[in-house]
Amino acid sequence: MRIVKPESLHQQAYHIIKSEILEGVYQPSERIVEAKAASKLGISRGPVREAIRMLIQDGLLVYNDGYVKVYTPTVQDVVDLFQCRESLEALAISLAIHNISEMEKEKLQENLVASYQANEKKDIIELGKLDQAFHDMIIYASKNKQLTELLEMIRAKIHYMRSNMVKENFYPTLVEEHEKIIDLLFSGDERGAQEYIRQHIKKGLDGVLMHIDKNASK
């Protein structure tokens, strides 16, 4: 992939490199060489340098032994991030109950239908995308910009961890739980929705930890 437009080169470089990190093009602990990345993208080193700075702020790149390297998550990092996500998404759904639009409700229903279809086909990649989109829609429906920005960083790291530490399927009741979350959201049950989405995210953490432990014991 190369830069095709002249404007906002550092933003384009940021999104491309970030996408490649999340999708596993770059592996944990792999060095990111500024000159090499610039040559690959077909741009000068300045925008790449700024993109790298932004990715360090996101926590996806780190300085290690004098080099810029891809972040290597630990099991404790996984736990810490899911704990943050649990509290923030509970707040997001509480706000969404009061702020969600009819169009956003329709989009959630469409996502649910597509998720059931992907689950029946055992399309793990598509189900993963739909799962992320489902949570994104609830977060955006909160209409809280600061909350959205905080969760964007957390979700990017969790996506990266899933890609690099977990290769197995989602747990079987994922889509049914999404349906229950929608029911609680649409009915205005704020306390019930908060508690249920907390349990939903805890179950996701348990699944990730189980797969990490299983893979480590092989």
Q: Quick one: 193 exposed, middle or buried, by C-beta within 10 A (0-12, 13-18, 19+)? A: buried
Tell me the C-alpha distance between 142 and 74, whole Å.
Answer: 31
Tell me which residue of 3, 24, 23 sits closest to 14, measured CA to CA. Answer: 3
Regarding pTM above 0.75, the answer is yes
Q: Let me know how many helices (H) and strands (E) the chain has, helices first.
A: 9, 2
* Tens-digit pLDDT string for the chain (218 aa): 665 555 588 999 999 999 999 888 898 899 999 999 999 999 999 999 999 999 999 889 998 888 999 998 888 998 999 999 999 999 999 999 999 999 999 999 999 999 999 999 988 888 988 999 999 999 999 999 999 999 988 988 888 887 776 655 667 899 999 999 999 999 999 999 999 999 999 998 988 888 776 555 55
